[in-house]
Amino acid sequence: MKGFIIDLDGTIYKNYQIIDGAREAIELLKKNNLPFVFLSNRGNISRKDCLKKLNQIGIDCRIEDVILASTIAARFFQQRKEESIWILGDEGLKEELIDHQVNLASKPEQADWLLITLHEQLTYEDLNNAFRAVLNGARIAVTNHDLIFPREDGPCIDVGGLIAAITATTGAKVQYSFGKPSPFMRDAALQQLQLEATDCVVIGDGLSTDMQLGIINEMKTAFVLSGVASVEDLHKANITPLFMGNTILDVVKDILEGVKHEYH
Amino acid sequence: MKGFIIDLDGTIYKNYQIIDGAREAIELLKKNNLPFVFLSNRGNISRKDCLKKLNQIGIDCRIEDVILASTIAARFFQQRKEESIWILGDEGLKEELIDHQVNLASKPEQADWLLITLHEQLTYEDLNNAFRAVLNGARIAVTNHDLIFPREDGPCIDVGGLIAAITATTGAKVQYSFGKPSPFMRDAALQQLQLEATDCVVIGDGLSTDMQLGIINEMKTAFVLSGVASVEDLHKANITPLFMGNTILDVVKDILEGVKHEYH
């Protein structure tokens, strides 16, 4: 194993609370000179926000070690300067788009694209503006499709809910989804690591995101139980990761020892 | 024609703005001693709120002349006192439920039912509480399924968006929908009018609501162009109402004259 692609929510932290062993796991990778990249479907924060948060909870890394769905969306629309974007989502996405000089629409009715991400500050008028953008012809792109994310106080409704609200009422379909397991995220991670997919392991708590990214790209997979999915969910989804543990520290230790964890 | 079943949003008013001719149309019915009932899929206001609004815009009627989807939902859950309800929707629905002594859950996780209606004061936490109610086993009922409603400043996303957000992220299905064209609404209207369905005409701007209510119950149908749907929408939906006009005054005059309006 040459490179590590590591999820954040449910793997490294839950909101502002670090998960047991996460700091030690990253230190272990560094001590062994193993390159890693944090790859997260979070689209509602900017890389700067995320780096600050990681540093605050004691994870020492650089901004280029962090790739978010918001980063990927911003890079995508940076290449389409002639088109304007309306956002349904938190301020972090807007910051990331502005950092990439993306053209933001001044009114929903004038937008070429509606870009949807998680919106924890959502109001009805935000939802209605997004609806009107699509009614007036904006195409839909989304940072990710996740249905649920973990917070300290329990599971929370994710961007999938906002996407469904807009698509069900307008009849429009999503044109692009940037998050894991999309090739946008894969390419960005491998470019940062400068490695081939088959040399990498994906560590995460998500079945349709992290595990799926690994499966479709012939990467190794390592599943952690510290997030939203359980062993039962794994079985239901008929997914058999190569490694499994309660925390990222467990699986990193197993990977370094070359142990395939048996959990049947 | 013995009785009139009349829609509100898009037929009598748009938000707080009366539609041309609505006051005169109601006065014409009264002068001819023709009974009428207002039947609206609005679930986010109480009957008291609605009566106050009608009176403010010059429509003179009694509280029993108004039947809302919130009224029907409240009557339904009044019969199920042992079950507790969590609401995703505006305060008007809560008032209507309290007026009917419905058992409201104190926490989303404890609710037997999630009742969804339009929520123009929506926040993310409201949406998340509803999500958690369903994750914890609450069944879903909705005041109505409407996707869009008219406001003075343009079309707005309706309760259908909120329903989709919850069902798409939880995998749960809607168990009861009280609004038009449901039999709950039909029965309430006919009971108020003390008439048979075939003796009544439904007047409204909704295809899947008002026109559908008429079609499936062998009522007469009268379509008004003052709301969200156009003649083109009618043709697309392959619906041929018996009467059609720009406003409710046009169709009431035609009905009283027994004229079948030709618009093909």
Q: What is the per-residue pLDDT across A4-37, written as a single tens digit (0 to 9) for each?
A: 999 999 999 998 899 999 999 999 999 999 999 9
User: Strands B148-151, B154-157: parallel, antiparallel or unpaired by DSSP?
Assistant: antiparallel
Q: What's the fold here for domain B81-177?
A: Rossmann fold (3.40.50)
Across the interface, which of B123, B163, B169 has its CB nearest the CB of A122? Answer: B123
Look-up of token digits 């106080």: A153
Q: What average pLDDT does this structure show over B168-185?
A: 97
Would the CB atoms of B169 and A154 count as touching at under 8 Å? Answer: no
Q: What average pLDDT does this structure show over B10-33?
A: 95
The string of pLDDT tens digits covering residues A112-171 is: 999 999 999 999 999 999 999 999 999 999 999 999 988 878 899 999 999 999 999 999
Across the interface, which of A121, A161, A166 has its CB nearest the CB of B169? Answer: A161
CATH number listed for the domain at residues B3-41+180-257: 3.40.50.1000
**pLDDT > 70 in chain A, percent:** 98
Q: How many Å lie between the alpha carbon of A27 and the closest alpha carbon of chain B?
A: 36
Which residues of A are less than 8 Å from B131 in CB distance?
155-157, 161
3-state percent helix, strand, coil for chain B, nearest multiple of 5 = 40, 20, 40
Question: Residue B152: pLDDT band by 50, 70, 90 thresholds?
Answer: confident
Maximum separation of any 2 CA atoms in chain B, in Å: 56
Domain boundaries, chain B: 3-41+180-257, 81-177
Please determine whether the domains at B3-41+180-257 and B81-177 fall in the same fold group of CATH: yes
For residue A263, pLDDT over 60 is answered with no
The CATH number fitting domain A82-177, selected from 3.40.50.150, 3.40.350.10, 1.10.287.130, 3.40.50.1000: 3.40.50.1000
Q: Distance (Å, rounded) from C-alpha B261 to C-alpha B258?
A: 9
pLDDT, chain A, mean: 95
Mutate which: B134, B146, B169, B228, vs A, most A CBs within 10 A: B169
Closest CA to A260 of A215, A205, A231, A223: A223
Q: What average pLDDT does this structure show over A91-120?
A: 97
Would the CB atoms of A155 and B165 count as touching at under 8 Å? Answer: no
Q: How many Å lie between the alpha carbon of B4 and the closest alpha carbon of chain A?
A: 30
Across the interface, which of A119, A161, A167 has its CB nearest the CB of B131? Answer: A161
Q: What average pLDDT does this structure show over A179-187?
A: 97
Question: Residue A202: pLDDT band by 50, 70, 90 thresholds?
Answer: very high
Q: Which amino acid is at A78?
A: Q
